[in-house]
Amino acid sequence: MDRKFRNLIFPRTKLGKWSVYLIIAFFILLIIARIIMLIQGPISNSTPLDNLPVFLVMLFVGLSGVASFFAGIISIIWNKEKAIPVFISMFIGLMILFSVVGEYFVH
């Protein structure tokens, strides 16, 4: 493989790799949370702590998404990372960050 092409496909820095790994963990944890919700069935009129397994998994979903954004942005600014997956994971992490901040300030 050409070196330039490989640098665009595979992250070369540790933070770039962490950004991609964290966004992969985000999607895996999201699937796990959905499976837990399907197994439990509907729970009405409950607080997040009433459904602790889903709450904990979704907490880690949010944390991994936001951490992916910050790892990606630091990798791009400080280490001059140019890999496309890092940019994609950073964009997804930014959307998650907007969602979390929006939920916090709207309610």
Is 42 inside a domain boundary? yes
Is 46 inside a domain boundary? yes
Is 85 inside a domain boundary? yes
Is 80 inside a domain boundary? yes
- Average pLDDT, 10 consecutive residues per value, the chain (107 residues): 77 92 95 91 76 89 94 92 91 92 81
Q: Per the structure, how many domains does the chain have?
A: 1
Is 3 inside a domain boundary? no
DSSP string, 41-55: ----S--GGGGHHHH
Residues in the chain: 107
- Tell me, what's the pLDDT at 25? 96
The boundaries of the domain holding residue 16 are: 10-106
| Three-state DSSP class for residue 35 | helix
The structure's pTM equals 0.85
Joined together, the tokens standing for residue 54 give 């889903």
Is 51 inside a domain boundary? yes
Is 2 inside a domain boundary? no
- Tell me, what's the pLDDT at 59? 92
- Tell me, what's the pLDDT at 1? 62
Is 4 inside a domain boundary? no
